[in-house]
């Protein structure tokens, strides 16, 4: 099965891996396998027989130049692949891209709790009475690794990705510039990246309001500097 992932930059991935490396020393089964931080964008079933080229073509005409990811909350789930995860704000860009891909490929979405980014995978046998996943989530609180933003957490959450808890390196989201195509057959640690697609500006796709605001700010800044120079 080939799945499509939205992934952070190398720098942001390294930060998130610090959080993801936390684990219980008592678990001795298939819990806590290592995997790259990602948001699953699409997961076509094996029966679809879609080729890598078809998957690439499905999104090549509908890509923003970047995808903004903002963290909403950190939750526990009742499934191995959603043990403890970051719920991501469903921005218009994310929702639009997700819908476009599934419509183009004529697929039913198979991305539960989209969009989310898993922090760890914990086997059911290690989550007796629902304790291990909740304890892992609680550890973020007790170690000062998580805090809410704004009144009652209405502004989302951020994670302290400082190494060994020394110093503050708070992360509340990231800009994604790549989509990966990953073979997710077999054990988690055997998953293989088949292709990395760099997001590029599409001249036929109108930019989002956020991107437009960035463009306006850049133009305004350059214009201001120009007029200051010519007025001297």
Domains of the chain, each with CATH number or no CATH? 2-202 (3.90.1140.10)
At residue 206, the pLDDT reads 46
pLDDT, position 201: 60
SS3 117: strand
Distances (CA, A) of 37 to 54, 93, 106, 198, 212: 24, 20, 27, 17, 28
Q: What is the pLDDT of residues 172-200, one digit of tens each?
A: 999 999 999 999 999 999 999 999 999 87
Q: What is the pTM of this model?
A: 0.82
> What's the number of CA atoms in the CB half-sphere (13 Å) around residue 152?
1
Query: 50 with 105: CB under 8 angstroms?
Result: yes
Q: Which of 29-33, 169-173, 185-189, 202-206 has the lowest mean pLDDT?
A: 202-206
pLDDT in tens, 52-73: 988 888 787 778 889 999 999 9
* CA–CA gap between residue 76 and residue 85 (Å, rounded): 6
Asked if the model's pLDDT at residue 212 lies above 70, the reply is: no
């Amino acid at each position: 099965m080939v799945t499509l992932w939205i992934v952070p930059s190398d720098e942001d991935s390294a930060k998130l891996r610090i959080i993801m490396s936390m684990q219980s020393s008592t678990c001795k089964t298939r819990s806590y396998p290592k995997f790259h931080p990602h948001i699953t964008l699409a997961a076509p079933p094996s029966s679809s027989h879609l080729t890598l080229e078809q998957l690439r073509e499905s999104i090549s005409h509908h890509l923003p130049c970047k995808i903004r990811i903002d963290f909403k909350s950190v939750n526990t789930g009742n499934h191995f692949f959603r043990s403890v995860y970051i719920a991501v704000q469903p921005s218009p860009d994310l929702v639009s891209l997700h819908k476009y891909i599934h419509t183009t490929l004529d697929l039913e979405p198979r991305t539960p709790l989209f969009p989310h980014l898993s922090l760890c995978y914990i086997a059911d046998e290690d989550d007796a009475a629902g304790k291990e996943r909740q304890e892992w989530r609680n550890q973020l609180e007790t170690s000062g690794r998580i805090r809410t933003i704004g009144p009652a957490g209405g502004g989302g959450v951020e994670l302290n990705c400082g190494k060994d808890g020394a110093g503050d390196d708070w992360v509340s989201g990231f800009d994604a510039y790549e989509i990966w195509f990953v073979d997710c057959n077999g054990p988690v640690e055997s998953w293989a990246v088949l292709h990395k697609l760099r997001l590029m500006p599409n001249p036929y796709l109108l930019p989002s309001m956020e991107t437009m605001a960035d463009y306006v700010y850049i133009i305004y800044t350059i214009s201001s500097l120009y007029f200051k120079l010519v007025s001297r």
